Amino acid sequence: MIKIEKFSFKYKGTDKFALHDVNLDVPAGAFLGLSGVSGSGKTSLLYSCCGVIPHFYKGDFYGSVKLNGLDTVETPIAELSKIATIVFEDMDSAFSTDYPEDEIVFGLRNFGHTKSEAEEIAAGNMKEFGIEDLRGKQIRSLSGGQKRKTALAAAIAIKPKVLLLDEPTGELDPEAKVQVFEILRKLNAEGLTIIISERNENLLRKYCTSEYTVQNA
């Protein structure tokens, strides 16, 4: 599903490689956990897997990254977004709307669903993620766990083949962390390829089917 060969990347305006000589093969249906110390390049690797690097963050790009056979440098981001999506660490900035139901509808409408179709799917999706009671509540007023579930529901609604998550449990309490990982395990069992960066190695060991330690430069 994702094939990274001899990949190195240096952000524009920096001298140091954020990632150096990375080789990684992620098969379809994998649940890969990325571990590594702060600043090791976990986020950069996630960004590279879905084309955020180099489409949005410019720099020196060496080697190749292929997503479902598509070269991430040459393929437009609109095409890549049909295959992979990412849930950002900075959730508050990443939301595109003010309400959970709109957040789910937003992505669905972008992929060609009519408003009524999107609203129907969103209703089912919210029920599945146990967030139907959040309807009509402003996202900014939700707890960290509720925001995470909303972001996940919105990402999953567009049916990506690959889901990338950047430290999705950072500020959550232990119970909410487990809830998020349980949801991910269920999605993975349904065939979704997941790559997750997470500091808690115990969670990675418990839930992921494989692990990759990122060490930059």
Partner 1 sequence: MGGLGYFPGDSFLHRANPILKLFLAIILVTAIFAIPSLIAPAAVLAVTFLLAVSCNSGKWMLKIIRSMLKFSLVIFIIQTLFIQTGDTLIPLFWGLRITYQGVMFSLGFVLKLIASALPLALVLRVTKGIDLADALNETFKIPYKYAYAVASAMRFVPDFADEMKDIIEAQTARGVEHDTKGFVKKARLLAPICLPLLLSGVRKAEVAAISAEMRGVSNR
Which DSSP helix (H) or strand (E) runs through 211? strand 210-213
Q: Which residue stretch of 5-13, 17-25, 32-40, 150-158 sits at the interface with partner 1 (rule: CB under 8 A)?
A: 150-158
Per rule CB under 8 A, is residue 114 in the interface with partner 1? no
- Edge-first strand order for the sheet with 59-67 is 19-26, 2-11, 59-67, 70-71
Per rule CB under 8 A, is residue 207 in the interface with partner 1? no
40, 43, 85, 188: which one binds partner 1 (CB under 8 A) = 85
Per rule CB under 8 A, is residue 206 in the interface with partner 1? no
Q: Closer CB to partner 1, residue 7 or residue 88?
A: 88
Q: Which of residues 6-35 bind partner 1 (CB under 8 A)?
A: none
69, 136, 175, 202: which one binds partner 1 (CB under 8 A) = 136
Q: Identify whether the C-beta of residue 53 lies closer than 8 Å to the C-beta of residue 59.
A: yes
Helix, strand, coil tally for the chain in percent (to 5): 40, 25, 35
Per rule CB under 8 A, is residue 115 in the interface with partner 1? yes
Which DSSP helix (H) or strand (E) runs through 60? strand 59-67
Nearest distance in Å: CB 96, partner 1: 5
Nearest distance in Å: CB 78, partner 1: 4
Name residue 28's amino acid. A
What is the phi/psi pair of residue 137, to 5°?
-95, 140
Q: Which residue stretch of 34-42, 95-103, 182-190, 208-216 sits at the interface with partner 1 (rule: CB under 8 A)?
A: 95-103
Query: What angle do helix axes 174-189 and 144-157 make, rounded to 10 degrees?
Result: 10
Joined tokens for residue 185: 């395990």
Residues that bind partner 1 (CB under 8 A): 50, 52, 55-56, 76-78, 81-82, 84-86, 88, 90, 92-99, 102, 105-107, 109-112, 115, 136, 140, 154-155, 158
